[in-house]
Amino acid sequence: MAKIQTLKLNDGVDVPVYGFGTFQIPADGSTYKAVREALNLGIRHIDTAVAYFNEQEVGKAIRESGIPRNEIFLTSKLWLQDYGYEAAKKGIDTSLRKLGLDYMDLYLIHQPYGDVPGAWKAMEEAKAAGKIRSIGVSNMTPTIWNNFIPQFDTMPSVNQVEFNPYYQQKEIRKIMAAAEVQLEGWGPLGQGNKAMLADPVIVKIAENHAKDSGQVILRFELQEGAIIFPKSVNPERIKSNMEIFDFALTDAEMEEIRALDTGKGCHNPDAPGVAEALIGAFDVHAND
């Protein structure tokens, strides 16, 4: 298996460009098993969140993997319920406790609504204290970015947003590039978007490289400069998703895929009512 490259964030922290996502993997042993499988295959970047309700299994898998902690890059995310300065301080400590780890490599503002500046201040302090190595944001559109980022003392290291060939986030990427903020793409396979996987342009390019559509999509995203972490609980699929380091798309192929952008995704953070719906979605501390 090819060695996964790393890139340097704007705060000097190195992050593997390819990782493993755990969204919607239940905490019934499935998360533990999938993370162990990913680590066994050589993946060293794991993405979780308070709101995935599986931090405990992710942390257990990391602790019991036998891999030195400093060789694994772990991301978690603060939920809306814990925004504001005091609440975020507690939220960070709760995540560390559930993970059973001394620090997180990256911690993100998961949904950018409410007292984001207060939460950010607590994250900056946690970073200074060594509890977090890097801090970032998620789901920030240009409108949300321009509202909150000017209120921050420090620039985020990443913005994790929905990103795939059908939704290429061109506007926010321009803003981020100017600020040297790294793109992380969630839903890199469009959350199993069948139309995208069967798109004639992608299928033809896949045939050219003797790869499958998913591998071409993931390769495109890497070459666009995104950090990606596809999710699967199927060991064969986890393995095949990684087989994207032994080929490269040509400039012409990249242009063909860039032309597939629809400018729309499955989640619109700017839509009316999104903040209210998310805040009332669930209680992340129900089982604390």
Percent helix, strand, coil in the chain, to 5, is 45, 15, 40
d(CA 225, CA 69): 26
Q: Which of 32, 52, 107, 167 is catalytic?
A: 52
Answer whether 116's CB lies under 8 Å from 156's CB: no
Q: Which residue stretches of the chain are H helix?
A: 30-40, 55-63, 85-99, 116-128, 142-148, 170-179, 194-197, 200-209, 213-223, 235-241, 251-258, 274-279
Neighbours of 127 (CB within 10 A): 21
Q: Is 52 a catalytic residue?
A: yes
Q: Shortest CA distance to 250 belongs to which of 208, 213, 212?
A: 208
| Catalytic positions | 52
